[in-house]
Amino acid sequence: MNPAEKLKNLFDQYFRGLHPELYNLGVVDVTFQDYSDSYRAIIDIDFYKILEDKIMVLTIKEIVDDFFDYFNVPKRVRHLVLFSNKDVWVKQVLNKKIKPLIRELDVEKRLHAIQFLTDRYGGTQNEMKLIFKHDYSHFGWRERHRYSSNLIQQVKELIKDLGYVDIRVTW
């Protein structure tokens, strides 16, 4: 058994013992890669759960850091956060359910595209970016800004009502 596998077994025991509520969810898998000067902690989290609970990624990172401190691992640790089921969520939920609801809010049909950016800021932020058409130049700057700001506020409320707390809406 190599050092990374030993570390994973030790981490699983540590994680199960101190945080059974997170461990029993079965949405987190942490593996380790051994480098000469550091370990890479690969944190794989179910994407559905992270959108519902932003605290989870930060908590898991802290648990990994605490684990390294507790066992006095001499190497530094680098985090890599991966999300399983992300593509499935984007195709099944975002594209088929959320985007049509957002398009319904755009009564003046000024919205050109909706981008969804993941893995922002070290895996702790997901961002929905609304891109507006540029061909409505007959509107003044203030009118365009007012409409965009109002639509973004409505989208934020819609996202919150759907139960997703970890999606930042921008333009």
42-64 pLDDT, tens digit each: 777 777 666 666 566 667 777 77
pLDDT at position 138 over 70? no
Pick 41 or 153 by higher pLDDT: 153
Same domain as 74, residue 35 = yes
Q: Indicate the number of domains in the chain.
A: 2
What is the token pair recorded at 116?
Answer: 């969804």
What pLDDT shows up at residue 136? 56
- Give residue-wise pLDDT tens across range 106-131: 877 778 888 887 665 555 567 788 88
From residue 30, alpha-carbon distances to 57, 60, 92, 130, 168 in Å are 12, 9, 26, 34, 26
Supply the range of the domain harboring residue 78: 3-84
Based on the fold, state whether residues 7 and 74 are members of the same structural domain. yes
Query: Do 48 and 71 sit in the same domain of this protein?
Result: yes
Q: Clarify whether residues 33 and 45 are in a common domain.
A: yes
| 127 plus 58 within the same structural domain | no
Same domain, 90 and 158: yes
For residues 90 and 78, state if they share a domain.
no
Looking up residue 68, the CATH number of its domain turns out to be 3.30.300
Tell me: do 17 and 56 sit in the same domain. yes
Spell out where 1-132 has E strands: 28-34, 38-46, 76-84, 111-120, 125-132
Same domain? For 127 and 99 the reply is: yes
